[in-house]
Amino acid sequence: MSHFCRELSLLLLLLAHAQADNCLTAIVGETVQIPCSLNTEESLKTEDISVEWKTSEDLIVHSFVKGQDYWTNQAPQFKGRTQLFSSELSRGNLSLRLSSVSLTDDGGYTCNYHRSGEPTSRQLSQMCLQIAGRYSLPVVQGPASPVFKDHEVNFTCKSTGGFPEPKVQWSVNKELLQNSRRVNTILNRDSRGLYSVTSVLTVNVTGDVSVTCTVENDRLREKMTSAEIHYLIKAEKESNGVSGGTKVVVVLVAVLVVLVGLLIVVIMVLKRRKRKHQRPRTPVPSKDEESEAERL
Ligand SMILES: *[C@@H]1O[C@H](CO)[C@@H](O)[C@H](O)[C@H]1NC(C)=O
Ligand SMILES: *[C@@H]1O[C@H](CO)[C@@H](O)[C@H](O)[C@H]1NC(C)=O
Ligand SMILES: *[C@@H]1O[C@H](CO)[C@@H](O)[C@H](O)[C@H]1NC(C)=O
């Protein structure tokens, strides 16, 4: 029983996958052609052909009745955007051209054909349309002022007009940044429902740094990478460049110089005193000294 369930779910999974693969991807603002064709060798008379393109919600996308476009029952959101290929109709090619695609066009589409004289109409194709938006080339901006070593710096990456949500990745010095907690990515939606993305990367710069940002659209299998920006790192300014360690060394050297100086002075004083003590022991006093002694 559980085996059967597993097989069934596998089958359902495969079906779901096939369904997704059967989807056409259309790009916002562009034109898409939704295929529908009648397997026929004979050439048809267009006045015998009636075609009705509908959404899965039963809105009329395009009506063509007995050789003529019929606009009256067309859903307003498709006004002026649909067209059949008139020269292809006689060959059984009933494909629909839909222009100025928007996000709301996402969904299922059916192509129903009726030939004059036949009792019923036939559904010839069922397609699903998924919509994507192309992200603009991302642009990275770094700080405007000079960057000093061991400082925190923000880089900002911007890209607009995409759908669905993007994957944003940063590379620092050509290495892909993995799961960084120092990236802050914000999405906004515009009036058309498209995303604009702003991602801020914070780095502690320890040397010259180069940065790129990549915005990926899975649905379009498209990766857009910004130009690489380079920052040359300046050493700290001289005024605050003397670190604590250097200060200690300078003070120590000064203290040492003073101590050595004191020592020299002390030694000289001691030597002089020693000489004075030795004087009385000089063996022969000079005559001058004798006479002086007499005078006293
Ligand atoms: C139907 O016509 C369109 C427009 O000329 C063409 O691009 C498409 O390939 C045709 N489809 C078939 C099945 O011939
Ligand atoms: C960098 O950006 C964060 C927000 O992501 C902000 O909090 C911080 O102040 C910024 N730092 C600098 C140096 O601009
Ligand atoms: C970056 O530098 C700041 C301040 O020097 C420090 O608090 C922070 O932990 C550093 N972050 C990293 C990721 O090195």
Assess whether 144 and 217 both reside in one domain.
yes
Token pair 């000093």: residue: 148
| Boundary (domain end) residue, out of 132, 157, 177 | 132
Using the mean position of ligand 2's atoms as its centre, give its distance from the Cα of residue 287 in Å: 94
Cβ of 289 less than 6 Å from ligand 3: no
Assess whether 160 and 116 both reside in one domain.
no
Compute CA distances 188 → 108, 161, 199, whole Å: 27, 10, 11
Assess whether 127 and 160 both reside in one domain.
no
Assess whether 118 and 190 both reside in one domain.
no
pLDDT in tens, the chain (296 residues): 455 555 545 444 444 444 455 689 999 999 999 999 998 888 999 999 999 999 999 999 999 999 999 999 999 999 999 999 999 999 999 999 999 999 999 999 999 999 999 988 999 999 999 999 999 999 999 988 778 888 889 999 999 999 999 999 999 999 999 877 899 999 999 999 999 999 999 998 888 899 999 999 999 999 999 999 998 887 765 444 445 455 556 667 777 877 878 888 777 878 877 776 665 554 444 445 444 444 44
296 in a structural domain: no
Residue 55 sits in a domain of what CATH number?
A: 2.60.40.10
Positive or negative, the CA dihedral 83, 87, 89, 94 is negative
| Boundary (domain end) residue, out of 234, 259, 276 | 234
- Whole-number Å distance between alpha carbons of 192 and 48: 40
Using the mean position of ligand 3's atoms as its centre, give its distance from the Cα of residue 176 in Å: 20
Cβ of 184 less than 6 Å from ligand 2: yes
17 in a structural domain: no
Tokens of 246: 């250097």
- Whole-number Å distance between alpha carbons of 272 and 266: 10
- Whole-number Å distance between alpha carbons of 248 and 253: 9
Cβ of 204 less than 6 Å from ligand 3: yes
Token pair 């307003």: residue: 76
Domain that holds residue 118: 22-132
Cβ of 88 less than 6 Å from ligand 3: no
The answer to whether the beta carbons of residues 96 and 36 sit under 8 Å apart is yes
- Whole-number Å distance between alpha carbons of 267 and 130: 97
Residue type, 119: P
Assess whether 150 and 182 both reside in one domain.
yes
| Boundary (domain end) residue, out of 100, 132, 164 | 132
Assess whether 112 and 149 both reside in one domain.
no
Assess whether 33 and 118 both reside in one domain.
yes
- Whole-number Å distance between alpha carbons of 203 and 150: 9
Please report, to the nearest 10 degrees, the dihedral formed by the alpha carbons of residues 126, 33, 188, 212 taken in order.
120
Kindly give the pairing relationship between strand 23-27 and strand 122-132.
parallel
The total domain count for the chain is 2
77 in a structural domain: yes
